[in-house]
Structure 1
Amino acid sequence: MIFSKKHSLYESEHTRFIKELKAQTPGMEARQLEGRSLLWDKAPLSLDEQEREKQSRLRQNAYPYQNKV
């Protein structure tokens, strides 16, 4: 998709806000990456660890709040 020159310089209010926010708080991007690494960027598990995790999970009933009669 090709945009004309008129639209190539367009910058939304949200984009400007984020750029200004990053300029005002210099360490924000580093803190974001640090926070992301805590939750998402984890080392891959070996096959043995995956199997052990799979076996250690408790099986949950389809309807946990229904009494067995």
Structure 2
Amino acid sequence: MSNSYESDITLFLRKYNKTHPLLKKQQIDGRQRLWDRKIEIDLLKEFDLSKVSQKPYVYQTD
């Protein structure tokens, strides 16, 4: 008798990954496209310098 239990979802995911071998590469490509980007320090500094200060109460009219 086997003591290891695998849920239906785990079995589905294992089977899905076997039938779709390109899935892992697509996931990595998607991550690189959206998250793994080089930060441009000069551009970030320009963004910080271009911020306009906000009043404590935004809806107050002068």
Name the TM tier (shorter chain): 0.5 to 0.7
- Could you state the TM-score of these two structures normalised by the residue count of structure 1? 0.59
Match in the other structure for 1:53: 47
Unaligned regions of 5+ residues in structure 1, if any? none
> What residue in structure 2 maps to residue 32 of structure 1?
27
Percent identity of equivalent pairs: 26
Q: How many residues align?
A: 60
Provide TM-score, normalisation by structure 2.
0.64
Structure 2: unaligned runs, 5 residues or longer: none
Give the Cα–Cα distance (whole angstroms) in 2 for the partners of residues 22 and 58 of structure 1: 49
C-alpha RMSD over aligned residues: 2.7
- Deviation above 6 Å: which 4+ runs of structure 1? none
